[in-house]
Amino acid sequence: MTRFVAAFLALVCAAAAAPAQDPLTQAPSSMRPPDPIPTSGEYVIVIGGVSLMMWEKYKANPHDNWWANFVRAGRIRTQQIRAVAPELPVTWFVYRPSYAARSKVEGRDLIPFIDSVGQTFNFKVVYFDKTSQVLDYLNNGTPQRPRSQVKVCGFEFFGHSNKAAFMFDYSNNLDSGSKCWLHEKELKQISRGIFTRDAFIKSWGCYSGELFVKSWNKSTGTRMWGAIGKTQYMTDELPTLVKDGARWVR
């Protein structure tokens, strides 16, 4: 684990500053035209964990000033999906340990706020603490919706990342480090054939377009959109590219 943690000490994603009010349950004032939304299958969205200010407050550009950076972005995307496909099965996987730890700092239980998004948009929220739980769900689905019958038509990730990995945990247990991730070398654990032919797949984290998307394609046979450069999490729109020269690739 040590060598992986060391690899995660740099190239992490930018996150939005805290808004004046908590607009988690408010509709965004405006949204860009949505990315493609397949309407047959199951949509899976993974929400990574946020950092703690006990680590970040000493940095010139601290991450996650607002606890709902990734949850808010997932909510905006889910609202787009629901506008096109009101009955499409949608499942969120949320990294619980980070939000449990952040709850203590915030002085309030954040889990009900996350659950409220699922209730508002009629989708299932699943909390996980191990990468294997996400992989098992992708590969197998549930007894009610086995993957052999209901394939994944959409997969999106909102969270911290570097060019080699999704970091479900970042700067929450370790300063600038991760204890839970999906590394590009682990992508071979995802079964081929679980995605629909028109599946839309995207990482909204930083740097994924520089290596991770290539490994994803090699391992799964599907194409993932990812950013070359940093992304910035916003309040009223989906994450944007930060600097000139940054771009989305797949």
| Sign for the pseudo-dihedral over CA of 127, 27, 233, 113 | negative
pLDDT for residue 220: 98
pLDDT for residue 143: 96
Which ranges constitute the DSSP H helices of 12-89? 53-56, 69-84
| Residue 39 half-sphere exposure toward CB, CA atoms < 13 A | 7
pLDDT for residue 25: 56
| Dmax (CA) of the chain | 50
CA distance 48 to 236: 19
Residuewise pLDDT in 10s, the chain (250 residues): 444 443 444 445 555 556 644 556 555 544 566 899 999 999 999 999 998 888 777 777 888 789 999 999 999 999 999 999 999 999 999 999 999 999 999 999 999 999 999 999 999 999 999 999 999 999 999 999 999 999 999 999 999 999 999 999 988 887 778 899 999 999 999 999 999 999 999 999 999 999 999 999 999 999 999 999 999 999 999 999 998 889 999 9
**Residue linked to tokens 């930060």:** 242
Distance of CA 61 to the CA centre of its chain: 21
pLDDT for residue 44: 98
What is this structure's pTM? 0.90
Query: Are the C-beta atoms of residues 213 and 203 closer than 8 Å to each other?
Result: yes
CB within 8 Å of 135: residues ≥ 6 apart: 182, 186, 189, 190
pLDDT for residue 8: 41
